[in-house]
Amino acid sequence: MKLSIIIDNFGAASSVNQVAQHNNQKAQRKAAMAVLAHAEAGEIAARLRDLALDLPLPEHQDLRQPENGLVMLRGRVGGDGAPFNLGEATVSRAAVRLASGEVGFGYTLGRDGEKARLIALCDALVQSGDFSAAVERGVIAPLREQLMIRRERAAAETAATKVDFYTMVRGEG
């Protein structure tokens, strides 16, 4: 009986739940970062300011000051084969800790340390039970919508350049 472990063993059951919750939260943090990395620092800051009007943000401090560095970008031979080093990119990173203990990490292409710090703060807030829903509603969701609008516009402009082939029919007789 596969289920018996969970039903009979409370300890195992709760650890399975914890793992599921952990994975869930990781996916949520990653989804938030995927939006934030595409936003400008000013946009994130403005959304956070608006959010703070309704719900004062918790005390927080820099766990790692924003720092600029390089990441070697990798491609794959033929697009799907063995990896190779393509060239580097500038990356900024930071880490922020909330007074309540949650630690958030911020990584972004480019050299905007303030943006990395804001992403780290948002990442910490996403992990905080009290702020997770609010930061999703007030910061991530609107930025995601803007990003989607930009992408849809670009996709529509691209689509207009798609070639429609037609066959020339030779006249009969």
Partner 1 sequence: MYVAVKGGERAIDNAHRLLAHKRRGDRSVPEVTLDQISEQLGLAVDRVMSEGSLYDRELAALAIKQARGDLIEAIFLVRAFRATLPRFGASEPVDTGAMRVERRVSSTFKDIPGGQILGPTFDYTHRLLDPALAEGFVPDAPATAEAPTAPTPRVTDILGRDGLIESSPQAEDGAGIGDLTREPLNFPAERDLRLQNLARGDEGFLLAMGYSTQRGYGRNHPFAGEIRFGEVEVEFFAEDAGFAVPLGAIELTECQMVNQFKGSATEAPCFTRGYGLAFGQSERKTMSMALVDRALRARELGEEALAPAQDEEVGMSHSDNVQATGFVEHLKLPHYVDFQSELGLLRKLRQEFADANAPDAMKEAAE
Residues that bind partner 1 (CB under 8 A): 26, 29-30, 33-34, 37-38, 64, 67-91, 93, 95, 105, 107-111, 123, 151-163, 165
Residue with smaller CB distance to partner 1, 13 or 45: 45
Residue with smaller CB distance to partner 1, 2 or 162: 162
CB of 53 to partner 1, least distance (A): 28
Instruction: At 140, give phi and psi (nearest 5°).
Output: -65, -50
Residue with smaller CB distance to partner 1, 3 or 82: 82
CB of 104 to partner 1, least distance (A): 9
Residue 28 burial by CB count (10 A; 0-12/13-18/19+): exposed, middle or buried? middle
What letter represents residue 137's amino acid? Answer: R
Beta carbons of 96 and 62 less than 8 angstroms apart: yes
Beta bridge partners of 97: 61, 103
CB of 127 to partner 1, least distance (A): 11
CB of 49 to partner 1, least distance (A): 23
Instruction: At 118, give phi and psi (nearest 5°).
Output: -65, -40
